[in-house]
Amino acid sequence: MAKVVCIHGISQEYESRETLLKEWTPALCGGVSNAGGQLSEADVDMAFYGEMFRPAGETKGGFQIPPFRPGDLSDPFEQELLANIFDSLETSTTSEDITKGNRTVAYMLQVLANTPYFGRKLQNLVIWYLKQVHRYVSEPNVRQSAQRSLLKTIAPDTRVVVAHSLGSVVAYEVLCERTELSVDTLLTIGSPLGLPALLPRLLPPADKGGKWPGQVRKWVNIADATDVVALAKRLSPIYGNRVVGHLVNNGATMHDAKPYLTARETGDAVIKGLSIPV
């Protein structure tokens, strides 16, 4: 029974509920403290679905990301998602290293792989991330399993859901469908809910305007100005003026959950969400 339920994003296949809870809880409590409040670690829980993306029979030390090449990114949705994220990079940086107008798959992968978000690693890591998002929207068992992880964690006394990255998609869809849930505040951080490629594939679709999520009284969206995943820094044009938006500065780790969780804006949203009587 937790007053605050968190849900993670992609690339957590080698974590667990317990390991992420150990990392997220003190960070979120710190954000609340930075905002002048207090949150007990006992009031925080984690919905975990990362194991769905863990290859069978592999371990962290033995598994290698498949040697994807640009040609493996042939699915139209994956290419559109790549272009959306590249668009975000173009508009959020003044780097002269980006050649404006060059939008081949190979070039966009090369540029994105060299960003801090992807750890300045290989292009196959970018493709691996994109394919995880594709699996969520295209494979019903993956989508349903992720949503069940959140549903089983939300309790009658849960007042706030904190959702990072792809987890914000999971949380949005669950709260739209399960209108009986009495969650007061949805807090999305580093959310891709504004990516054009995702909008028509949400349930319900949001390409013609997003639905308000169930009984949620307040929706707060927090984005780093240079977060390439959070393309739309403000979600109100899509989901309505009731969505409150805040920009934060997460430093070099612009999309990581931890700096989002420790932000004063995050803590303030949690404090306000918990102040509403059950």
Of residues 259 and 87, the one with the higher pLDDT is 259
Of residues 100 and 145, the one with the higher pLDDT is 145
* Partners of residue 221 on adjacent β-strands: 188, 245
**pLDDT, tens only, 152-198:** 999 999 999 999 999 999 999 999 999 999 999 999 999 999 999 99
Statement: residue 116 has pLDDT above 80: no
- Per-residue confidence band for 278, with pLDDT thresholds at 50, 70 and 90: very low
Domains of the chain, each with CATH number or no CATH: 4-52+140-274 (3.40.50.1820), 70-138 (no CATH)
| Lowest-confidence segment of 32-41, 47-56, 86-95, 150-159 by average pLDDT | 86-95
- Per-residue confidence band for 61, with pLDDT thresholds at 50, 70 and 90: low
3-state secondary structure of 259: helix
pLDDT of 198 reads: 95
Residues 6+ apart with CB under 8 A from 197: 77, 80, 81, 83, 84
- Closest listed residue to residue 90, CA positions, set 121, 69, 115: 115
Scored b (16 or more CB within 10 A) or e, 222-259 reads bbbebbbbbbbbbbeebbeeebbbbebebeeebbbbbb
3-state secondary structure of 67: coil
Residues 56 and 82 sit within 8 Å (Cβ to Cβ): no
Single-letter code of the amino acid located at 189: I
pLDDT of 273 reads: 96
Strands 160-164 and 243-248: unpaired
Of residues 240 and 120, the one with the higher pLDDT is 240
Token pair, residue 248, equals 């934060």
For the chain, give the mean pLDDT. 88
Token pair, residue 217, equals 């009284």
| Mean pLDDT in residue range 55-84 | 76
Residues 6 and 24 sit within 8 Å (Cβ to Cβ): yes
- What are the residue ranges of helices labelled H in the chain? 17-34, 76-92, 105-113, 123-138, 140-151, 166-177, 236-239, 257-262, 264-274
